[in-house]
Structure 1
Amino acid sequence: MAISVYSFANAKHNHNYRDIGQSYPIITCLFLSTLYVLGLYLWPNKYLRDDPVVIKYRFFSVLLTCLISPIFICWHISNKSDILIHLGIRKSGLIAAIFIPLFTLFLLFLGPIYLWFLENKEKEYHKYYSKISIYGLRNYIIAPLTEEYIFRSCIVSILLTYHTHSKTIFIASFIFGLAHFHHIFENINKGISLNRALIISCFQFIYTTIFGAYSTFVFIITDHLMSCFVIHAFCNILGFPDLNRIYYYHDLKQRKILKYLLVLGFLGWLFATKTLLKPQFFQNERIY
């Protein structure tokens, strides 16, 4: 196993590499990330992220960024006709790419999922789903799809042309985490103090960087944009796990079950990641 992990970390994708400076692709990736974030703040009332008008303007901005971003990939690849493959948009292995990564993440979230069912009674369940409108479209469709398109399909594809898998995962996840620092301005605009807003943003940076690393790993293994989209949407639906609510759940019997599910889920996720996330299951011929 140690050998296989080492081989993966130091392998490169099967591209025709261009002999240019190592900093040039990183600058391109940072520019793409900045372009995506800046597009969110071009409109009136830019800090009111939950205003339906602002949400629609932001839809337009991010979709426009996604439309022009392949131009930057073309600067870094030799075969321009393979652009869709570089973006992870292909048919072969699609079904496996959707369900296998989702299943592995489902195992990791066994405890939080069970807690969600315990805490959401039938009345609240219907109330939750009645709220899905433009906010649901943003949180569960547009945001995860466009973020994964820019930060995985585009940025990871550029980095893989010049760097090993491990370097690509490190750089791409760092850029992804950094891109979420813009929320500090929205929090300050809400009246949150600078110190508290900074702490919140640092915490967001940590968990988005960790998620970015995992999503980048999944993209490299599956070579599918849809893999990253479904796991991102899944995480947005569940939110960040609140371990306090699990460890201090009022019902002692259910608390024990929740703790067991946390451990079993984590072990199951490790096992499933090792055994199920393999390039051959997704007909990924670009990794070796």
Structure 2
Amino acid sequence: MPLVFAEPPISLSTANALAVFFAGSYVGSLYLSKNARLSFKRGSIKPKQGQQRTKEQDERWRDDPDVIRARLAAASLSTLSSCVAVLGLVWKLLGWAPTAFPVAFETTLARLGFDVPASLSELVFPCLVTPVLFLGPLYGYWLSGALPLQRNWSWKLSVIPLLTTWQSVRNYMVGPTTEEIVFRSCSLAVYHLAGASRVKMIFMTPWLFGIAHIHHAWDIYNRYGRTGAAVKHAAIATLFQSSYTSLFGFHTAFLFLRTGSLIPPITAHIFCNIMGLPQLGTQLTMFPHRRRAIKVAYLLGIAGYIYAMNRWTLAPESLYWRPADAIAMF
């Protein structure tokens, strides 16, 4: 029988402070150690138009293997600290009693979405929502023969590079997992305890995720020569990335709240990182004889997404999508 609070046990200001702490500690951890920090030579260098400059000796760039390793370790520790903070908060709400710790631990696992969905359908269907949205890009890949088992696909060239480089470990494994734990489950857990509405949790909390990507501007500015053009390039790229990641955050926040599980948001994050942004214009240029079919596939993807988000995501046992306004803790 779940413990039900008649009123939210924490305030919205407390939830805001915790969410900022989660985001700030995650980004800040990337700059704490010397091995994780980036370093660039001073002075302006004018690279070829639209291209980043050549890396100089003794510089440390974002994609250097040793930088990636240090940052993955830092992000993982920061993620663990955020989870421990949520556990501490839940334990405090239960009175700090030693006998209450097992309940607090189990409660925290449930609130952070670490529980496995009750049925196979509740596990599989929410994970298929994002691929449905990408029906258009996937159709373009099919036309290119680049989908699994097609003529231009191979384990050696299409799969192994996604699993064996430090960039792939960051982009497709550790990055999506830690970011979804910190910016989705930890943040949404505290906002839910504060009694925030679903609308606020879906459409307000992801902005922190978008803002957290602004620090990439410094990297872009230096890689593109530290010139006026580099400032413009960094501003545009960062604004676009922050906006795109915020929109993506709306999507994964909805998935998390509807399912009560981290698995759909993490798989969606990995899938989107692999697919990249849709390239409608490029695909229309590459396959002019299939222009209408490509456009139809994109429209069907949007329609299918709207249908699937409503019908494929709701888990009856989701802690976050119950009709009652009270806060329940397992």
Please give the TM-score of this superposition, normalised by the length of structure 2.
0.76
2:210 alignment partner AA: G
Q: C-alpha distance in 2, partners of 1:20/1:130?
A: 47
How many residues end up aligned between the 2 structures? 272
Q: Distance in 2 between matches of 1:45 and 1:148?
A: 21
Q: 2:157 matched to 1:127? A: yes
Contact 1:63–1:146 (Cα < 8 Å) also in 2: yes
**2:67 aligned partner:** 54
| Per-residue CA distance 1:227-247 (angstroms, 9 max, x = gap) | 11111101111011122213x
**Shift in alpha-carbon separation, 1:263–1:191, aligned structure 2, 3 A:** same
Partner of 1:30: 20
> Is the CA contact 2:10–2:193 (under 8 Å) kept in the aligned structure 1?
no
Equivalent AA in structure 2 for residue 191 of structure 1 = Y
The answer to whether residue 293 in structure 2 is matched with residue 265 in structure 1 is no
State the AA in 2 paired with 1:223.
G
SS of match in other structure, 2:286 = coil
Alignment of 1:44 onto 2:35: yes
The yes-or-no answer on 1:111 pairing with 2:136 is yes
Counting only pairs closer than 5 Å after superposition, residues 85-234 of structure 1 correspond to structure 2 as: 85-93=110-118, 95-119=120-144, 122=151, 125=154, 126-132=156-162, 133=164, 134-162=166-194, 163-191=196-224, 193-234=230-271
| Counterpart pick for 2:83 among 67, 70, 73 | 70
For the residue of structure 1 that corresponds to 2:215, the secondary structure is helix
Once the two structures are superposed, what CA deviation does each residue of 1:51-106 show, in whole Å capped at 9, x if it has no partner?
11111111110111122112321454334231111111113436434421221211
| Runs of 5+ unmatched residues, structure 2 | 39-60, 95-103, 324-330
Q: In structure 1, how many angstroms separate the alpha carbons of the residues matched to 2:119 and 2:16?
A: 29
Preserved CA contact (<8 Å) 2:127 2:267: yes
Structure with max Cα Rg: 2
Output the aligned Cα RMSD: 2.1
Change in 2 beyond 3 A, CA 1:150/1:94: farther
1:123 Cα shift?
5.2
1:207 counterpart SS class: helix
More helix by share: 1
The 5-angstrom pairing of residues 4-15 of structure 1 reads none
Match of 2:58 in 1: none
Partner Cα separation in structure 2 for residue 72 and residue 94 of structure 1: 30
Q: Could you say which residue in structure 1 is the equivalent of 2:50? A: none
Give the equivalent residue in structure 1 for 2:313: 277
- Cα distance, 1:182–1:98 mapped onto 2, change above 3 Å: farther
Superposed displacement of residue 273, structure 1 = 1.3
Cα gap change, 1:92 to 1:106, in 2 (>3 Å): closer
Distance 2:14 2:115 in 1: 28
Q: 1:250 to 1:227 in 2, by over 3 A?
A: closer
Percent identity for Structure 1 against Structure 2: 28
